[in-house]
Amino acid sequence: MLHTSPLDQAGIGDAGGMNTYVIESAKKMAASGVEVDIFTRASHPELPDVVDLAPGVRVRHLHAKPYEGVSKSDIPALMDQLVADFYRHMRESGRYEIIHSHYWTSGLLAKQVSQESGIPFVHTFHTTAKVKNLSLADGERPEPLSRSIGEENVVKAAAAIIANTDSEAASLVSLYGACPDRVFVATPGVNLAEFKVGGGKSVAREKLAIDQSKIVLTFVGRIQPHKGPEIFIRSVAEVLTHSPGLRSKINALIIGGVSGSESGELDRLRNLAKWLGISDVVRFLPPVTRSELPDWYRASDLVCVPSYSESFGLVALEAQACGTPVVATAVGGLRAAVSDGFSGSLVDGHDPKAWGAVLLRLIAQPERRLILSMGAVQHASHFGWDSTSRALLDLFDKVISEKAGAESNNRSFA
């Protein structure tokens, strides 16, 4: 995880669903007796070399200069330093049996270490440049060619590629030429002990000082065009255009922080809400901690995920586990994360008028929202991190066994 740290709070900077994936799957693997070291780039020289994250899980900081002011695109230039520090850690901790890299820059490190040390590596992309560039938000900068090339190199070198869904697996084969026999699906999960119905909506609203009579629509995620917060704002404006009487009843919450180079995005969205005449309805909130997030989900009538692409969409799954229906774009992994008509609604495309129509219909049908709420809890119950970690460990065993078998055959022919 070279471009973000598992110690960072999701929703701030580059920290998002991938951080949650790495932490939760690592904890589950450690609980089964596997020791896990998570490597991340140090953003400050005084950070400790090793941080105990959970029993059997350690975070190890890789040091490379410069520490600060490094964007994701700058990381490949630091690769020699990062690889050298990885070997320093490995000399102290002992040889690893397998490396599981996340995101393409980490894959470049894993590729180099694997080729030099013989340790097999598997890779999970979470997002890819070619998929993102097929569905950009208005004005969004496309991912650079260097990223696509880097991802292609990782695909060719990895012993196995892990996709979050069948649709992502198909994209890796069609867009990156991945061998179908080397692409495996391990569906992400949700912490069902943490994200649950609990005391329900009324208790959550009392805790958060939210009016019980309000209709609460919520967006949770990093404030960047690709996540679609502008679509959320414009769809709320469409709702109020068609039903101005709802103005006093709707609270539209945007919970999250700016991401990467999108430092001006929050101000742009505030100005958009003002220009649309709904700044009295839209409320911007900073990212909240994992322990606080379930209450915000529970307090909501609907959670909106208008992303332009998602390899899965953990926000959608977390909200449903808390009993809140989700309205999401029918793209990528969101098609699996949300059961259309059962746990929420999937919307084709990003037309605010279409989104507004779906929201308006659900707002007008509280009995329908109740049925979807029950379906949301049932749907989310099928996604636990236990099954994710089991799938990962089974794949790791397969890759390690194949490596050992190949080495044994080579010795036999020597």
Average pLDDT score over residue span 176-192: 96
User: Mapping DSSP to helix (H, G, I), strand (E, B) and coil, where does residue 40 land?
Assistant: strand
Distances (CA, A) of 350 to 240, 309, 345: 18, 11, 14
DSSP single-letter state for residue 76: G
**Local confidence band at 263 (pLDDT 50, 70, 90 cut-offs):** confident
Phi/psi region, residue 139 (left: phi>0; alpha: psi -120 to 50; beta: rest), is left
| Backbone φ and ψ of 369, nearest 5° | -65, -35
Average pLDDT score over residue span 402-409: 81
For 270-302, write each residue's pLDDT tens digit: 999 999 999 999 999 999 998 999 999 999 999
Average pLDDT score over residue span 72-86: 94
Write down the pLDDT at residue 410: 66
**Local confidence band at 259 (pLDDT 50, 70, 90 cut-offs):** confident
Whole-number CA gyration radius for the chain: 22
Write down the pLDDT at residue 6: 83
Average pLDDT score over residue span 7-18: 73
Q: How many Cβ atoms from other residues are within 10 Å of residue 357's Cβ?
A: 16
Q: State the burial class of residue 252 (Cβ atoms within 10 Å of its Cβ: 0-12, 13-18, 19+).
A: buried
Q: How crowded is the C-beta side of 189, counted as CA atoms within 13 Å? A: 24
Measured in whole angstroms, how far is the alpha carbon of residue 363 from the centre of its chain? Answer: 28
Adjacent-strand bridge partners of 253: 218, 283
Write down the pLDDT at residue 69: 87
**Local confidence band at 13 (pLDDT 50, 70, 90 cut-offs):** low
Measured in whole angstroms, how far is the alpha carbon of residue 273 from the centre of its chain? Answer: 26
Is CATH 1.10.287.610 the classification given to domain 200-380?
no
| Residue with tokens 């774009």, as numbered in its chain | 329
Prior bond of 287 cis (ω within 30°): no
| Residue with tokens 């997030």, as numbered in its chain | 293
**Local confidence band at 399 (pLDDT 50, 70, 90 cut-offs):** very high
Name the strand (E) or helix (H) holding 226: none
The answer to whether 122 and 161 are in contact (CB under 8 A) is: yes
The answer to whether 333 and 310 are in contact (CB under 8 A) is: yes
The answer to whether 245 and 281 are in contact (CB under 8 A) is: no
**In sequence order, which residues have a C-beta less than 8 Å from that of residue 245 and are 6 or more positions away?**
none
Tell whether the model's pLDDT for residue 414 goes beyond 60.
no
Report DSSP letters for 334-402, one per residue: HHHHS-BTTTEEEESS--HHHHHHHHHHHHT-HHHHHHHHHHHHHHHTT-BHHHHHHHHHHHHHHHHHH
CATH no. for 17-189+385-413:
3.40.50.2000
**Hey, CA dihedral for 184, 106, 265, 144, is it positive or negative?**
negative
Distances (CA, A) of 106 to 164, 236, 355, 388: 17, 38, 36, 21
The answer to whether 47 and 291 are in contact (CB under 8 A) is: no
Average pLDDT score over residue span 231-247: 98
List helix spans (H) across 137-228: 145-157, 166-176, 200-208
**In sequence order, which residues have a C-beta less than 8 Å from that of residue 247 and are 6 or more positions away?**
240, 280, 281
For 305-327, write each residue's pLDDT tens digit: 999 999 889 999 999 999 999 99
Which segments of the chain belong to CATH 3.40.50.2000? 17-189+385-413, 200-380
